[in-house]
Amino acid sequence: MDMDIKNTISSAVTGAATLVSSLAQAETDRSNVPKTVMPGMPEQVRAAAAEGAVLLKNDGILPLKKGTKVALLSRVAYDYFYVGYGSGGDVYRPYEVSLADGIRGCEDLELNETVAEAYREWREKNPINHGYWAHWPLRYKEMPLSETLVRNAAAESDVAIVTIGRAAGEDRDNELTKNSYYLHPEEKALLKSVTAEFNKVIVLMNIGGVMDFSELQQYSLNALMIVWQGGMESGNAVADLLCGKVSPSGRLADTIAVKYEDYPSSNNFGGKDFNHYTEDIYVGYRYFETFAKDKVLYPFGFGLSYSSFSIKCSAAKAKDNGFAFTVKVKNTGACDAKEAVQLYIEKPCGKLGNPSRELVAFAKTKTLAPGQTQQLTLYVDWYQLTSYDDCGDTGNAYAYVLEQGNYGFYLGNNVRDAESVYHYYQEETTVYEQLKQAAAPPQSFDILCAREEGGKRVEKIKNAYTQKFDLASRILGNLPPSYAQTGDVGIRLSGVKSGKATLEQFVAQLSLEELEAITRGDYEMDSALGAKGNAGAFCGVLPSLRDKGVPPLITTDGPSGIRLQVSCSLLPSGTLLACTFNTQLLEQLCTFLAQEMKEKGSDVLLAPGINIHRNPLCGRNFEYFSEDPYLTGKLAAAYVRGVQSAGASACPKHYACNSQEYKRTQCDSRVSERALRQIYLKGFEICVKEAKPKNLMTSYNKINGVWGHYHYDLCTTVLRGEWGYEGSVMTDWWMRSAKSPEFPCIRDQAYRVRAQVDVLMPGATRVHNNKPDGTLLASYIKKAPQGITLGEMQRSAMNVLRAALRIK
């Protein structure tokens, strides 16, 4: 989206004086709004925030002994990062618990108040400036420490905790600078003086995504834990972990590499016009475990506990639809704790080339007492053994194939240490599912692939396979039927719901004006049709539609809570939630969120954010889950099930490849069809098939030359044709104007509706504020069938109404 439009429109709506987004974090005046707490939510948020923390190092100092006096030496302990910036973090939370307040509230720990007071005085003179839209701070300035302060603090306390804080956000990526990805000189000075004076030092990472961890290895630390951005209960959750009320059970949802340049996307990130996804399917651990094990500091899935576990596979069986693994997990340590069990597959390298490890199942145990055992069953579907042949190398182009060879299964509590438990031999290559080529790149570029040489997988380069079919013929061959317009014959939407009439009969009543209105929102954010501060309304946006019983649907941002003018719970960030490896916990958290949506007036939560962590610098990584599509998809499905449990709708976003914020509305993500399907679409696929979201949002960027909001193959061929999606698809806020290359007589709204991107949100276009821009109907009738058809408009209207019928 064009940020200028968003900012201007938001400002106009609220009458704010500045031109920056009036709905941006910490800028909206909500001072007169009462702060209410949703009953039950604090406990849910606290438990989730603790469960996602990942303990990376512990020499035995943690958990801290009862009565430990703690000195918090860093301003972030007092000015905590609860979430990242932008639409995904801007929740008007009822309260926030900083790390200092969390420790104050913990009966087992004591806070060094002299140190806290020194920080209070300095912070008063050096307040935080949250900046403005796209200019958020990436870190906060630190207080310079005098030798006396640190020495006295060491004499008075048992342990020092240094907290390193980072944030990024929407429209602002992380930077490869000392302000962001690397430690800042102020932080290095802090670490140097604290480790010189204190015998015991713990470092906590209050961050939204992965940053450099190599520099930290130079300091003598007793413990290192990533606590991420935990939402409104952050401090309480961290205190629970420090004092041992909760044993850490978070596991890394991303690989931490030795250095930034080790990430396989590092040479092709941050482009203005395009990025070639040259690493192809070798994203994150798929790359490191196959080609570069020594470039990893902390592997995917890794995380320590205060206890220890044995994980044994007691049985593995091939079944009709896949494999079942019976796993026994025993707490062999001395305290209550949970374990995250992970099962990886090693497919044969085969003709297509495959990574050495892919996550195919995971499960979290309940809290196990010392000596207690839990039996779990992990299922792997045949589909998970397949690879997509996008080039015909197996002789089966455009099909998911099960290649001939050995399939190994590895079980453990991180990708590196998982041990071989089973293998299956596939005698010959078979086709699992024949599909059509879709969304392939128009031009070739170099991509990474694996080839087996001397029993090892080695890195090779090949050419990405290009699009071979004619999209115009595909579209024209798949035009939907139209229903002769009847005018209003008295059918109400409730009649469709009760089965008295069909959706087709209902839609046949709609005039062209109504069809146009149903395919765009109510023009503005903060629509007068819904709760104050909403992100926009769609569906019943005309009085004549409402007369027919069509409700307006009110959207609000997510994912870290509900973004409205009223106070709503602030949840932990997506990355933290992913590190829980706990779908049940996430689903339950989101059932509370569903209740809160109902109470506060949100029909559609614009969440979860499920783009893949392709590169650690993406500013919105905190909103998204992981570098792994399976983990992403499973968590997304849990999120959606929870949110939709009380009748409302989730809206997974941004479909697809929104991997960076820089130039997000113009940048082209160029990616092979195989990587698209196996990595970037996979999370959406799992989520759509398992949880049936009622809405879905496209991305701002282009995918292989076509903007997400015009992408016929992504939104029609794949999403609906292959995955059976029945809901409505909306644009991200505003869209880029363009003519269809296939049908030059259609542009903008017609081009979009033809792709089944059903709704333009929030509804206005740059030049035609608050009235239709005319592009939907401009080619209707006169230019059929190249122009937009009645059937296509009715089809989109039905998609939207189907979502509405399932929401209300």
Whole-number minimum distance, CB 522 to ligand BGC, in Å?
A: 14
Check residue 739 and report its DSSP letter: B
Per-position x/- string for 540-579, each x denoting binding to ligand BGC as judged by CB under 6 A, each - no binding = -----------------x----------------------
Whole-number minimum distance, CB 710 to ligand BGC, in Å?
A: 17
For ligand BGC, the closer CB: 501 or 648: 648
Total chain residues near ligand BGC (CB under 6 A): 9
For ligand BGC, the closer CB: 658 or 678: 658
Strand partners, 759: 730
Binding to ligand BGC (CB under 6 A) within 391-450 occurs at: none
| CA dihedral (641, 643, 645, 651) positive or negative | negative
For ligand BGC, the closer CB: 587 or 732: 732
Give the integer Cα–Cα distance in Å for 154 and 146: 13
Binding to ligand BGC (CB under 6 A) within 652-711 occurs at: 653
Whole-number minimum distance, CB 609 to ligand BGC, in Å?
A: 7
Binding to ligand BGC (CB under 6 A) within 154-173 occurs at: 170
- Strand 702-703 with 706-707, pairing: antiparallel
Cα dist. 496→317, 490, 524, 644, 703 in Å?
Answer: 46, 12, 29, 21, 37
For ligand BGC, the closer CB: 491 or 730: 730
Whole-number minimum distance, CB 25 to ligand BGC, in Å?
A: 12
Q: In angstroms, what is the C-alpha Rg of the chain?
A: 26
For ligand BGC, the closer CB: 374 or 611: 611
For ligand BGC, the closer CB: 142 or 170: 170
Give the integer Cα–Cα distance in Å for 73 and 119: 8
Give the integer Cα–Cα distance in Å for 331 and 314: 16
The answer to whether residue 733 forms part of the interface with ligand BGC (CB under 6 A) is yes
At residue 79, the 3 state secondary structure works out as coil
For ligand BGC, the closer CB: 286 or 664: 664
Per-position x/- string for 455-494, each x denoting binding to ligand BGC as judged by CB under 6 A, each - no binding = ----------------------------------------
Whole-number minimum distance, CB 558 to ligand BGC, in Å?
A: 7
Q: Which of 61, 606, 638, 730 binds ligand BGC (CB under 6 A)?
A: 606
The answer to whether residue 1 forms part of the interface with ligand BGC (CB under 6 A) is yes
Whole-number minimum distance, CB 752 to ligand BGC, in Å?
A: 17
Structural contact between residues 153 and 201, judged by C-beta atoms closer than 8 angstroms: no
For ligand BGC, the closer CB: 87 or 779: 87
For ligand BGC, the closer CB: 585 or 612: 612
Active site residues: 732
For the chain, how many residues are written? Answer: 808
Whole-number minimum distance, CB 653 to ligand BGC, in Å?
A: 5
Give the integer Cα–Cα distance in Å for 733 and 1: 6
The residue ranges of DSSP E strands in 352-443, in sequence order, are 358-364, 373-381, 387-389, 399-402, 405-412, 419-426, 430-434
Neighbours of 336 (CB within 10 A): 17
Structural contact between residues 174 and 132, judged by C-beta atoms closer than 8 angstroms: no
Give the integer Cα–Cα distance in Å for 172 and 757: 26
Residue type, 7: N
Give the integer Cα–Cα distance in Å for 149 and 537: 55
Cα dist. 203→74, 122, 133 in Å?
Answer: 10, 22, 30
For ligand BGC, the closer CB: 172 or 416: 172
Per-position x/- string for 120-149, each x denoting binding to ligand BGC as judged by CB under 6 A, each - no binding = ------------------------------
The answer to whether residue 534 forms part of the interface with ligand BGC (CB under 6 A) is no
Question: Which tokens hold the place of 322?
Answer: 């896949």
For ligand BGC, the closer CB: 133 or 483: 133
The answer to whether residue 522 forms part of the interface with ligand BGC (CB under 6 A) is no
Peptide bond into 744 cis (omega under 30): no
Whole-number minimum distance, CB 733 to ligand BGC, in Å?
A: 4
Q: Which of 522, 596, 732, 792 binds ligand BGC (CB under 6 A)?
A: 732
Whole-number minimum distance, CB 135 to ligand BGC, in Å?
A: 15
Give the integer Cα–Cα distance in Å for 247 and 331: 12
Per-position x/- string for 70-109, each x denoting binding to ligand BGC as judged by CB under 6 A, each - no binding = -----------------x----------------------
Closest CA to 577 of 51, 44, 210, 186: 51
| Dihedral angle, C-alpha 778, 780, 784, 786, nearest 10 ° | 50
Q: Which residues contact 290 (CB under 8 A, 6 or more apart)?
A: 282, 355, 356, 357, 450, 457
Which strands form 430-434's sheet, in the order they lie side by side? 387-389, 399-402, 430-434
The answer to whether residue 650 forms part of the interface with ligand BGC (CB under 6 A) is no
For ligand BGC, the closer CB: 676 or 735: 735
Q: What is the 3-state secondary structure (H, E, C) of 448-477?
A: EEEEEECCEEEEEEEECCCCCCCHHHHHHC
Whole-number minimum distance, CB 694 to ligand BGC, in Å?
A: 16
The answer to whether residue 324 forms part of the interface with ligand BGC (CB under 6 A) is no
Whole-number minimum distance, CB 341 to ligand BGC, in Å?
A: 33
Give the integer Cα–Cα distance in Å for 800 and 785: 23
Per-position x/- string for 216-255, each x denoting binding to ligand BGC as judged by CB under 6 A, each - no binding = ----------------------------------------
Cα dist. 282→212, 450, 685, 720, 772 in Å?
Answer: 21, 9, 19, 27, 44
Q: Which of 77, 109, 535, 764 binds ligand BGC (CB under 6 A)?
A: 535
Neighbours of 635 (CB within 10 A): 29
Whole-number minimum distance, CB 732 to ligand BGC, in Å?
A: 5
Binding to ligand BGC (CB under 6 A) within 368-387 occurs at: none
Q: What is the 3-state secondary structure (H, E, C) of 578-605?
A: HHCCCHHHHHHHHHHHHHHHHHHCCCEE
Footprint on this chain of ligand BGC (rule: CB under 6 A):
1, 87, 170, 535, 557, 606, 653, 732-733
